[in-house]
Amino acid sequence: MIKAAKSHLENEKIATNDSLFIAGYSEGGFATIALQQLLEAKDELNLIQSYAGAGAYNKTAFTKMILESKSEQAHMGYYLWVLYTYNTLYASLQRPWKEYVNDPYASSLEAVNDFNAPLHDSLYTKVPEELFTSKFIQGINNDTDTAFLSVLEDNNVYDWKPKNPIALFHSKNDSLVDIINSETMLKAIENQGGKISLTLIDAENHRAAAIPFYLAVLHHIMEQHNQK
């Protein structure tokens, strides 16, 4: 899409400064960082900076945090959808539900035909230690379930040395995508010598932080433009 837009601007003789900024929130935050890795590897476009809000960058740490929690997870239905997706797409997994969750929840989830529709609360419990089998929890937390951990690692985007600056944004009150994703990414990239920042958004939840994020991004880009 970016290449198509660039080609269109050139064909229509619309002048630009050729500077590319990318931004995304939530799943888009993750996609923004993955796109930055791709653009920097190809070195085809003039990427200046990325802005990523509340993305699940560190799937490994995030998964372990969920499985170690003793309290209810308000968005457990969403996490089960992610689990279903990985389990379906990766040939190294493709396990029956009973290898992940206890009965009666395993039987209930096996009967679900459409995981694109929201899961009814009656199909599962939101308490991790009640929902997931002890074998699955221990396999992740003790690093012995190498097949599943490999899938998580395949979807991590938090630990590398970027060529261009990254601005992260996250609300500490985010109960859907925990701030551990941004905090561990900040530390990992700083340790690699990359340029990265983390701005905390004062918002009550994941959804409420989206608009403040985009307003902050627009403000920052306009400031950079005016300085030039």
> How do residues 103-145 score in pLDDT, each as one tens digit?
999 999 999 989 988 899 999 999 999 999 999 999 999 999 9
CA distances from 208 to 44, 75, 116 (A): 35, 16, 23
Residue 19 covered by a domain: no
The per-residue pLDDT for range 143-182, each reduced to its tens digit, is 999 999 999 999 999 999 999 999 999 999 999 999 999 9
Q: What is the CATH number of the domain that holds 101?
A: 1.10.260
Do residues 133 and 115 share a domain? yes
Structure tokens at 131: 């929902």
Residue 4 covered by a domain: no
Model confidence at 20: pLDDT above 70: yes
The per-residue pLDDT for range 178-216, each reduced to its tens digit, is 999 999 999 999 999 999 999 999 999 999 999 999 999
- In 129-195, at which residue ranges do the beta strands (DSSP E only) sit? 166-171
Do residues 163 and 141 share a domain? no
Mean of pLDDT values over 53-78: 97
Q: The domain containing residue 75 runs over which residues?
A: 59-154
Of all residues in the chain, the percent with pLDDT exceeding 70 is 100
Q: What is the CATH number of the domain that holds 194?
A: 3.40.50.1820
Which among 148, 145, 153, 159 is positioned nearest to 196, based on CA atoms?
A: 159
Res 228: pLDDT: 63
Compute the distance between CA of residue 168 and CA of residue 158 in angstroms, rounded to an integer.
Answer: 11
Compute the distance between CA of residue 83 and CA of residue 123 in angstroms, rounded to an integer.
Answer: 15
Compute the distance between CA of residue 110 and CA of residue 119 in angstroms, rounded to an integer.
Answer: 12
Residue 16 covered by a domain: no
Mean of pLDDT values over 39-64: 96
Number of domains in the chain: 2
Q: What is the DSSP letter of 31?
A: H
Which among 39, 41, 42 is positioned nearest to 21, based on CA atoms?
A: 39
Do residues 52 and 161 share a domain? yes
Which among 81, 79, 21 is positioned nearest to 50, based on CA atoms?
A: 21
